[in-house]
Amino acid sequence: MEFNEETIKSQRIYKGNITEYWVEEVLLPNGKKANRELVKHAGAVAIMPFTADGKMIFVKQFRKAIEKTILEIPAGMIDKTDDNPIETGKRELEEETGFQAKVFELETSFYTSPGFSNEFLYIYRAEELTRVDQPLAQDEDEFLELVTLSFEEAWVAYEKKLIIDSKTVFALFYWKMKKEMEQKNR
């Protein structure tokens, strides 16, 4: 079965700094019409930075959209000039944490909410971290605090709802799965 929706009309309602809001009129498979709201976004890259002693580095930041300060894995938007998401990931890791990583492996990627947005997110695992002497500057309007947590501490933060966004919840379950597999293969 094909359910494609043909665009009849397309209107950009607003062009913001990180999103564009569009409303499209579409033709449904049953011949009826419907409106679709679309939030266009350049996409983003997140990094799960594992330290040598098996902890993970998180950033604490305030998120206006939810009016909460939460713990997230480092992440940032893909820039027009980035050739590859790994480039974005390396830059954001350095900007937000002051670390570079020798190991940089793509672990998954997904649309965060395809019901209304085209935001696509890549998640990398970073290991063998080294501190940079003069790291890239943070974005002007970003205020971050670094928080390094053990596996157990991260789950406490999750229970307290400080870890509560899709990429960081993914990171936690990924971490748990990785540990289960290591224990099994011991």
Helix axes 166-184, 151-159, angle to 10 degrees: 140
| Residue nearer to its own copies on the CB measure, 61 or 100 | 61
Could you say whether residue 137 binds its own copies (CB under 8 A)? no
Nearby residues of 133 by Cβ (< 8 Å), 6 or more positions away: none
In the numeric block, the tokens 């063998």 are attached to 128
Least distance from its own copies to the Cβ atom of residue 59, Å: 11
Phi/psi at 21 (5° precision):
-110, 120
Binding its own copies (rule: CB under 8 A), the pick from 113, 130, 132, 156 is: 113
Which residues within the stretch 47-106 sit at the binding site for its own copies (CB under 8 A)? 60-66, 68-70, 72
HSE-CB of 46 using CA atoms within 13 angstroms: 26
| Residue nearer to its own copies on the CB measure, 41 or 90 | 41
Which residues within the stretch 145-174 sit at the binding site for its own copies (CB under 8 A)? 145, 164-170, 173-174
**Annotation says 140 is catalytic:** yes
* Torsion sign over Cα 137, 143, 144, 145: positive
Please tell me the count of residues contacting its own copies according to CB under 8 A.
72
| Residue nearer to its own copies on the CB measure, 131 or 184 | 184
Could you say whether residue 5 binds its own copies (CB under 8 A)? yes
Q: Are strands 19-27 and 33-41 parallel, antiparallel or unpaired?
A: antiparallel
Nearby residues of 183 by Cβ (< 8 Å), 6 or more positions away: none
Site string for its own copies, 15-54 (x = CB under 8 A): -xxxx-x-xx-x-xxx-x-xxxxxx-x--x----------
Q: Which of 140, 152, 159, 182 is catalytic?
A: 140
CB 20 within 8 A of CB 40: yes
Binding its own copies (rule: CB under 8 A), the pick from 53, 83, 133, 141 is: 141
Could you say whether residue 138 binds its own copies (CB under 8 A)? no
Give me the active site residues, please. 140
